[in-house]
């Protein structure tokens, strides 16, 4: 089938960057490099990513603090660098602030492997070997403070097991993999979409283990897609007595920020284009007002400075070329704190819904964005919806790639559906 271009925008020149106050210079540098792909090189994109962590700081990603020692979840005295994370005493304090089952554990050499082998005795009454994987920084840092109370409520309902808290990005992937290897049958994720993504990357394709979710993030789009309630007690009930669904996962291959090729699983949604920049901007800001408000604010802030670029997309061999705002690859229907971006996307149908968003104007965005939360934005003259199992995206200048709210690299990118790759406990 011949290539077909999306309808172009009649604008005659690209957007111009406006003046910014002095206290926003660091954000400006990031946006000039990350958010305007038509104006900067791959090198600039890489430098921007190296220079700015997820918390918006200027240190190396996960850098600083004491070195992490083998066999430990956290280095001695290490504190969270991300804004809103809880301090060490909230994670491992005595009695009231500590994790369940921490009493009597030695401070030196946490021994994650030894601890993981003990969860079997905690849940024998339910005959399900359970491990809780907790992101204390989720929900704007409140999960760490509330986790002891959540753990008590779960235990009172009959859901118990060893609990492990992440200290830096990637911890949950390692913990999930090790727990599954040692016989865990149910991994209960306490966090948001980013936490789910990490755990999925530790157990994707593995039989004998299921994932349950107590939603504590600001976006919780994956939980929405599965119908998992945000209410803690109802989510605990779903983890205990819900049915198990086997859903599809996506597998993305992309260019790493530091160069070379990376590969990551994603559960809900992937994108290439402005969505990656929006997710980065939303992650760099406080989410005290909630994920939806943060994402809407980030959308307008980024769109005001974004320059669309020529993009080539192939969906199962069917090619589209043109100036595009975004390419959304949906396994589930929700993105951005509740936008029903692909209303008919199904986590169990063996295919992606692929939304190509063309050269939008500001007026288009203002009129269309509110409709996305109701799933009423399609059809649209500047958008096209396709379905397929394999999607490739490339552009003359690298576009940021977003996977379940994380930004691991840039285009060129390839997205593949992997049917029946994850077991999930749902209501």
Residue ranges of the alpha helices (H) in 189-262? 193-203, 221-226, 232-241
Same domain, 170 and 189: yes
Q: Tell me which DSSP letter residue 102 carries.
A: -
Share of the chain above pLDDT 90, in %: 50
Task: Residue 360: name the closest of 336, 327, 334, 383 by CA.
Answer: 383
Buried/exposed 59-78: b ≥16 CB within 10 Å, e otherwise: eebbeebeebeeebbbeeeb
Q: Is the pLDDT of residue 393 over 50?
A: yes
Same domain (yes/no): 97, 200? yes
Instruction: Flag the least confident range among 15-29, 39-53, 211-225.
Output: 39-53
150 in a domain, yes or no? yes
Shared domain for 231 and 268, answered yes or no, is no
State mean pLDDT over 266-288: 78
Residues 6+ apart with CB under 8 A from 274: 35, 302, 303, 306, 325, 326
Report if residue 38 sits inside a domain. Answer: no
Task: Please indicate, yes or no, if residue 21 is contained in any of the structural domains.
Answer: no
- Of 241, 261, 278, the position where a domain reaches its end is 241
Same domain, 254 and 224: no
Q: How far is CA 340 from the centre of its chain?
A: 16
Q: Are 426 and 186 in contact (CB under 8 A)?
A: no
| pLDDT of the residue at 349 | 97
Question: Residue 228 belongs to what domain range?
Answer: 88-241
- State the pLDDT at residue 84: 36
| CATH (domain of 281) | 2.60.200.40
pLDDT of residue 203: 98
Same domain (yes/no): 213, 294: no
Query: How high is the pLDDT of residue 25?
Result: 41
pLDDT at res. 184: 97
The tally of domains found in the chain comes to 2
Which domain-ending residue is among 241, 270, 289?
241
pLDDT higher than threshold 50 for residue 102: no
pLDDT-based confidence at residue 217 (cuts at 50, 70, 90):
confident
Q: Taking the model in full, what pTM does it have? A: 0.70
E strands along 284-374, which residues? Answer: 309-315, 318-324, 326-330, 334-335, 339-340, 352-357
Per-residue model confidence (pLDDT) at position 127: 76
Task: Indicate whether 415 belongs to any domain.
Answer: yes
* The pLDDT of residue 177: 98
């Amino acid at each position: 089938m011949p290539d077909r271009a999306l309808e172009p925008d009649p604008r005659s020149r690209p957007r111009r960057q406006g003046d910014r106050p002095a206290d926003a210079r660091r954000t400006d540098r990031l946006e000039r490099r990350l958010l305007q792909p038509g104006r900067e090189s791959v090198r600039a994109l890489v430098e921007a990513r190296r220079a700015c962590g997820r918390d918006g700081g200027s240190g190396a990603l996960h850098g600083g603090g004491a070195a992490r020692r083998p066999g430990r979840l956290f280095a001695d005295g290490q504190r969270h660098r991300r804004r809103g994370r809880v301090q060490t005493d909230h994670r491992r304090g005595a009695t009231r602030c500590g994790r369940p089952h921490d009493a009597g554990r030695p401070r030196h050499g946490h021994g994650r492997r030894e601890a993981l082998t003990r969860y079997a005795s905690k849940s024998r009454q339910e005959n399900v070997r359970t491990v809780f994987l907790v992101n204390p920084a989720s929900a704007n840092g409140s999960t760490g403070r509330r986790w002891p109370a959540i753990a008590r409520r779960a235990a009172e309902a009959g859901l118990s097991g060893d609990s492990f808290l992440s200290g830096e990005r990637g911890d949950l992937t390692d913990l999930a993999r090790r727990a599954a290897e040692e016989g865990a049958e149910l991994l209960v994720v306490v966090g948001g979409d980013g936490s789910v993504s990490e755990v999925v990357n530790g157990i994707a394709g593995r039989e004998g283990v299921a994932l349950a979710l107590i939603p504590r993030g600001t976006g919780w789009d994956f939980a929405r897609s599965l119908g998992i309630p945000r209410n803690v007690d109802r989510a605990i009930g779903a983890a205990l007595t819900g049915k198990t669904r086997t859903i599809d996962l996506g597998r993305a291959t992309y260019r790493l920020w530091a160069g070379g090729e990376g590969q990551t699983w994603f559960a809900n949604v992937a994108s290439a284009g402005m969505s990656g920049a929006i997710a980065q901007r939303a992650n760099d800001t406080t989410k005290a007002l909630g994920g939806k408000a943060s994402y809407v604010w980030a959308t307008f802030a980024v769109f005001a400075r974004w320059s669309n670029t020529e993009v080539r997309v192939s969906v199962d061999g069917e090619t589209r070329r043109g100036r595009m705002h975004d390419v959304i690859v949906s396994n589930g229907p929700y993105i951005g704190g509740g936008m029903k971006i692909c209303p008919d996307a199904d986590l169990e149908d063996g295919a992606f819904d692929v939304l190509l968003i063309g050269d939008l104007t500001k007026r288009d965005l203002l009129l269309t964005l509110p409709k996305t939360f109701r799933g009423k934005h399609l059809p649209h003259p500047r958008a096209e919806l396709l379905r397929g199992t394999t999607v490739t995206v490339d552009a003359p200048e690298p576009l940021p790639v977003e996977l379940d709210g994380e930004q691991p690299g840039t285009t060129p990118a390839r997205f593949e559906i992997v049917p029946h790759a994850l077991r999930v406990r749902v209501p």
